[in-house]
Structure 1
Amino acid sequence: MPNSHPYRGCPDYQFWRKEPAIQEPRAFDPVVSPAFHIAPDDAVVTAGSCFAQHVARYLASNGFNFLVTERLNSAFDPKFAAEFNYGLFPARYGNLYTARQLRQLIERAYGMFGPVCDTWAASDGSVVDPFRPQIQPGGFICAEELALDRAVHLAAVRKAFEKMKVFVFTLGLTETWMDRRDGAVYPLAPGVAGGEFDPEIHVFHNFTVEETVADMQASIDFIRTRNPGVRIILTVSPVPLNATAVDRHVFTSTTYSKAVLRVAAEEICQRNKECDYFPSYEIITSPYARGQYYADDCREVRPEGVEHVMSTFLRHYAETGARTVTRQTKSSTSPTSTVPEAPSVEKLLQVLCDEEAIDNE
Structure 2
Amino acid sequence: MRQEGSLAFRTTLRNKMRKYPDRNDSRFRNDLILPSINPSFGIARDSAVFTIGSCFAREVEDALLTAGVRVPTAHFAAPHDEAPGRPNRILNQYNPGTMLQCVLAAGQAVDERALYPASDDGMVLDSLLATGNRPVSRERALERRGQINTLYRDGLAESDTVVITLGLIEAWYDWEAELYLNEVPPRPMLDRFGARFEFRRMGLEECRDIMERMVNALTADRKRHIVLTVSPVPLQVTFAGGDAVVANAYSKALLRVLAEQIAEDHASVDYFPSYEIVTTAGLRAFGEDNVHVRPVVVQQIVSHMLEHYLEA
TM-score greater than 0.5 by the shorter chain: yes
Q: Is the 8 A contact 1:115 1:182 kept in 2?
A: no
Question: 1:17 and 1:31 mapped to 2: Cα distance?
Answer: 11
Corresponding residue for residue 276 of structure 2: 282
Is residue 94 from structure 1 mapped to residue 91 from structure 2 by the alignment?
Answer: yes
Is residue 237 from structure 1 mapped to residue 234 from structure 2 by the alignment?
Answer: no
Map Cα deviations across residues 318-347 of structure 1 (whole Å, 9 max, x no partner): 112xxxxxxxxxxxxxxxxxxxxxxxxxxx
Q: Is the 8 A contact 1:51 1:239 kept in 2?
A: yes
Q: Is the 8 A contact 1:31 1:278 kept in 2?
A: no
Deviation of 1:35 (Å) = 0.8
Is residue 292 from structure 1 mapped to residue 284 from structure 2 by the alignment?
Answer: yes
Q: Is the 8 A contact 1:162 1:223 kept in 2?
A: no
% same residue: 27
Deviation of 1:148 (Å) = 2.8
Deviation of 1:236 (Å) = 0.2
Higher helix share: 2
Taking structure 2 as the reference length, the TM-score comes to 0.85
Pick one of 94, 114, 120 that aligns with 1:118.
Answer: 114
Q: Is the 8 A contact 2:211 2:262 kept in 1?
A: yes
Counterpart amino acid of residue 184 in structure 2? A
Corresponding residue for residue 3 of structure 2: none
Question: 2:148 and 2:266 mapped to 1: Cα distance?
Answer: 29
Q: Secondary structure at the match of 1:37?
A: coil
Corresponding residue for residue 208 of structure 2: 213
Taking structure 1 as the reference length, the TM-score comes to 0.74
Is residue 164 from structure 1 mapped to residue 186 from structure 2 by the alignment?
Answer: no
| Residues 68, 96 of structure 1: alpha-carbon distance in 2 compared, 3 angstrom cutoff | closer
What stretches of structure 1 move > 6 A for 4+ residues in a row? 79-82
| Residues 120, 70 of structure 1: alpha-carbon distance in 2 compared, 3 angstrom cutoff | farther
Corresponding residue for residue 312 of structure 1: 304
Q: Is the 8 A contact 2:112 2:142 kept in 1?
A: no
Pick one of 245, 249, 257 that aligns with 1:251.
Answer: 245
Question: 1:313 and 1:178 mapped to 2: Cα distance?
Answer: 34
| Residues 294, 109 of structure 1: alpha-carbon distance in 2 compared, 3 angstrom cutoff | same
Map Cα deviations across residues 179-221 of structure 1 (whole Å, 9 max, x no partner): 12243111111126xx732322111011111211111110111
| Residues 21, 84 of structure 1: alpha-carbon distance in 2 compared, 3 angstrom cutoff | closer
Question: 1:86 and 1:117 mapped to 2: Cα distance?
Answer: 24
RMSD: 3.0
Q: Is the 8 A contact 2:43 2:311 kept in 1?
A: yes
Question: 1:157 and 1:100 mapped to 2: Cα distance?
Answer: 16
Map Cα deviations across residues 85-110 of structure 1 (whole Å, 9 max, x no partner): 5445xxxx522111111111223335
Aligned residues: 302
Q: Is the 8 A contact 2:17 2:36 kept in 1?
A: no
Pick one of 117, 123, 135 that aligns with 1:139.
Answer: 135
Corresponding residue for residue 144 of structure 2: 149
Question: 1:157 and 1:223 mapped to 2: Cα distance?
Answer: 11
Counterpart amino acid of residue 267 in structure 2? K
Question: 1:106 and 1:303 mapped to 2: Cα distance?
Answer: 29
Counterpart amino acid of residue 169 in structure 2? T
Q: Secondary structure at the match of 2:185?
A: coil
Is residue 11 from structure 1 mapped to residue 9 from structure 2 by the alignment?
Answer: no
Deviation of 1:9 (Å) = 2.8
Alignment of 1:325-344 (within 5 A): none
Question: 2:146 and 2:54 mapped to 1: Cα distance?
Answer: 23
Map Cα deviations across residues 216-237 of structure 1 (whole Å, 9 max, x no partner): 11011112222x2111000000
Q: Is the 8 A contact 1:81 1:87 kept in 2?
A: no
Deviation of 1:139 (Å) = 3.1
Pick one of 175, 178, 193 that aligns with 2:173.
Answer: 178
Alignment of 1:12-91 (within 5 A): 12-17=16-21, 20=25, 24-26=29-31, 28-68=33-73, 71=76, 83=84, 86-87=87-88
| Residues 291, 47 of structure 1: alpha-carbon distance in 2 compared, 3 angstrom cutoff | same
Deviation of 1:62 (Å) = 2.6
Q: Secondary structure at the match of 1:291?
A: helix
Q: Is the 8 A contact 1:173 1:261 kept in 2?
A: yes
Deviation of 1:46 (Å) = 0.7
Q: Is the 8 A contact 2:127 2:184 kept in 1?
A: no
Q: Is the 8 A contact 1:31 1:279 kept in 2?
A: no
Deviation of 1:17 (Å) = 5.0
| Residues 147, 87 of structure 1: alpha-carbon distance in 2 compared, 3 angstrom cutoff | closer
Question: 2:48 and 2:130 mapped to 1: Cα distance?
Answer: 27
Question: 1:182 and 1:120 mapped to 2: Cα distance?
Answer: 11
Corresponding residue for residue 109 of structure 1: 106
For structure 2, the 5+ residue unaligned runs are 1-5
